[in-house]
Amino acid sequence: MVLGGSTPEDSPFLRRPDLLRSMLGYWLAHPSLSFAFSGMFVGPTSQAPRIDEARDDAVHELDLAFRQIPSDGNGPPWLVDRVLRNLLADASGNTHRTEFCIDKLYSPDSASGRLGLLELRSFEMPPHERMSLVQQLLVRALVAKFWRIRGPPRRPAEQHRPRPLDAPPLFGTGSVGVLSDLRAAGFPFQDAWFRPHLEFRFPKVGSFVREGTEVEIRQALEPWHVLAEEPGGGGTVATWTARSSACRCWCGAPRPDATRCCATAPACPCTPRAPTAKSVAGVRYRAWQPPSCLHPTVGVHAPLVLELYDQWAGRGVASATYHVQHPGGRAYESHPVNANEAESRRHERFQSFGNAPATLVPRDCPPRPEAPLTLDLRWI
* Per-residue pLDDT tens over the stretch 4-36: 999 998 999 999 888 999 999 888 888 888 888
Q: CB neighbours of 10 closer than 8 A, spacing ≥ 6? A: 4, 116
347 neighbors 206 (Cβ within 8 angstroms): yes
pLDDT in tens, 307-352: 777 767 777 777 888 888 888 878 788 899 998 898 888 888 888 8
Write down the mean pLDDT value for the chain: 79
How confident is the model at residue 173, as a pLDDT? 43
pLDDT in tens, 48-69: 998 888 777 888 888 889 888 8
Domain boundaries, the chain: 2-197, 203-225+238-328+342-379
In order, the DSSP letters of 244-282 are --EEEEEEE-SS--TTEEEEE-SSS-BB----TTT-EEE
| SS3 state at 363 | coil
239: pLDDT strictly greater than 90: no
Residue 356 banded pLDDT, cuts 50, 70, 90: low
Q: What is the Cα–Cα distance from 34 to 1, expressed in whole angstroms? A: 13
In order, the DSSP letters of 144-195 are HHHHT--SSPP-HHHH--S-GGGS-TTTSHHHHHHHHHHHHTT----GGGGH
pLDDT in tens, 115-142: 999 999 999 999 999 999 999 999 999 9
Q: What is the Cα–Cα distance from 349 to 104, expressed in whole angstroms? A: 46
Q: What is the Cα–Cα distance from 49 to 46, expressed in whole angstroms? A: 6
Q: Kindly list the distances between the CA atom of residue 80 and the CA atoms of 14, 53, 91, 180, 182, in Å, as whole numbers in the listed order.
A: 8, 21, 20, 29, 26
What's the pTM value of the predicted model, to 2 decimals? 0.84
Q: What is the Cα–Cα distance from 201 to 38, expressed in whole angstroms? A: 8
How confident is the model at residue 134, as a pLDDT? 95
Which of 27, 25, 378 lies closest to 222, judged by CA?
378
Helix (H) or strand (E) holding 342: helix 339-348
Peptide bond into 31 cis (omega under 30): no
The percent helix, strand, coil of the chain (3-state, each to 5) is: 30, 20, 50
Q: What is the Cα–Cα distance from 242 to 225, expressed in whole angstroms? A: 6
Question: What would the mean pLDDT of 172-179 be, rounded to a whole number?
Answer: 62
Which of 7, 58, 53, 8 lies closest to 31, judged by CA?
53
How confident is the model at residue 151, as a pLDDT? 60
176: pLDDT strictly greater than 80: no
| SS3 state at 198 | helix
